[in-house]
Structure 1
Amino acid sequence: MFLLQHVSRKAPSTRTAIPPSTRLNTFTGARGLCGAAAAALLMLGAPALAQTSAAAPAAEKKSPLAVALTQHKVEKDSAGKERLVDASSVKPGDILEYRATYTNQTAKPIAGLTADLPIPEQLEYLPRSARPGAGLVKAAARDGLFGPEPLTRTVNGKSEPVPYDEYRRLRWALGSLPANGSTAVSARARVRAAAPPVPAQQPVKAGP
């Protein structure tokens, strides 16, 4: 579900259309709703093979950015305290938490880091559950225009809030990730329909 951009330009501060930019895609989709392991879908690109000679074995090229995804169901115990449990089976009304941790595996900082979280139609984003929040995250509805939460739209000349069940994407402007550093983003969503279809996984591409 999580997509990752590594770009050098600064993220816009107003609602803007989703650009057709190059991305590092780390897709998870809604696989957790069907009980499959999300880690199996976390692909930051197939390792590149460097041929040194016909006799020498090919060497794997280490990706500069490692991504670890977890997805859990949010429950409350008898005392009302929240706990995260396995999300191998879910039903409508369950709350899921998705978390992606990005680790810079190089000795140099990575600049212009942006993380995207698509929200499938079968999930409803929970208001202000994105972490980190504040000025780092923006949301988009079906129109693909990003803006700060809560989103608004104009209908018949009047401004009105966009229903949260129409939110389809979150985007974090994470900035620079220091050498060997890590950062994480997370969000919660309510299941509207059990066992939704899994979107097609997209290949990973490195930015310029």
Structure 2
Amino acid sequence: MYLTSKWKKYLLGTATLFLAVNVFAETKAVKDPVSVELKTYLISVNAEGKSNAKLVTKVKPNDVIEYRATYTNNTSGKIKNLAATLPIPVETLFLAKSEPENAQASTDGTNFAPMPLKRKEGNQMVNVPLKDYRALRWTIAELPAGKSVTVSAQTRINSDKTKN
């Protein structure tokens, strides 16, 4: 299963969508003010209980993976209130591990709220199951010129027997 290229294309579009900044080069060619690089890491635990991350391009059912999206400011000025968004693919289960920890979550990729997400069932509020999370978003207050910030989330690839 190849997930990286699919989500990289989505993230690049998302980064451009959330920025209200346009930078034009002298040739009038448009340069993206923020670039996004998405990498997928296989997470494993060694005999001492220490977590290891290995960059991968293929994953299989039940693998624990971490998506890391690095947003880079390509302008000569600060970018304020950058909405760094990381989709959670349908083929995965969010494991409630993200960095930085102040992420908001969404079940539809549009409406975000603090975690844990809640919904009303009958007369009471209940937690939304992690399997229903589809995106995380962090608001980066300020990203200086030429600097980068990385956001990440851990997920488990659904097994062939497990349905979302």
TM-score, normalising length: structure 1: 0.61
- Structure 2 residue identity aligned to 1:6: L
**Which residue of 126, 130, 136 maps to 1:160?**
126
Matched, 1:108 2:77: yes
1:106 maps to amino acid: T
Unaligned runs of 5+ in 1: 9-23, 25-46, 52-59, 195-208
Larger Rg: 1
- Aligned: 1:131 with 2:99: yes
Aligned counterpart for 1:6 among listed residues 9, 12, 19: 19
Matches within 5 A, 1:32-181: 50=27, 62-127=31-96, 129-134=97-102, 137-142=103-108, 144-181=110-147
* Per-residue CA distance 1:116-142 (angstroms, 9 max, x = gap): 122221111111x121113xx210124
Structure 1 pair 141/183, CA: closer, same or farther in 2 (3 Å)? same
Give the structure, 1 or 2, with the largest relative contact order (CA under 8 Å, sep 6 or more).
Answer: 1
**Identical pairs, percent:** 34
Which segment is superposed worse, 183-192 or 75-84?
75-84
The size of the alignment, in residue pairs, is: 146
CA RMSD of aligned residues (A): 2.7
Instruction: Say which structure is richer in strand.
Output: 2
SS at match of 2:75: coil
Separation in structure 2 between the aligned mates of residue 114 and residue 68 of structure 1, nearest angstrom: 15
Contact in 1 for aligned 2:71/2:84 (Cα 8 Å): no
- What does residue 3 of structure 2 align with? none
**TM-score normalized by the length of structure 2:** 0.76
Deviation of residue 91 (structure 1)? 2.2
- 4+ residue runs over 6 A deviation: none
Q: Which has the higher helix share?
A: 2
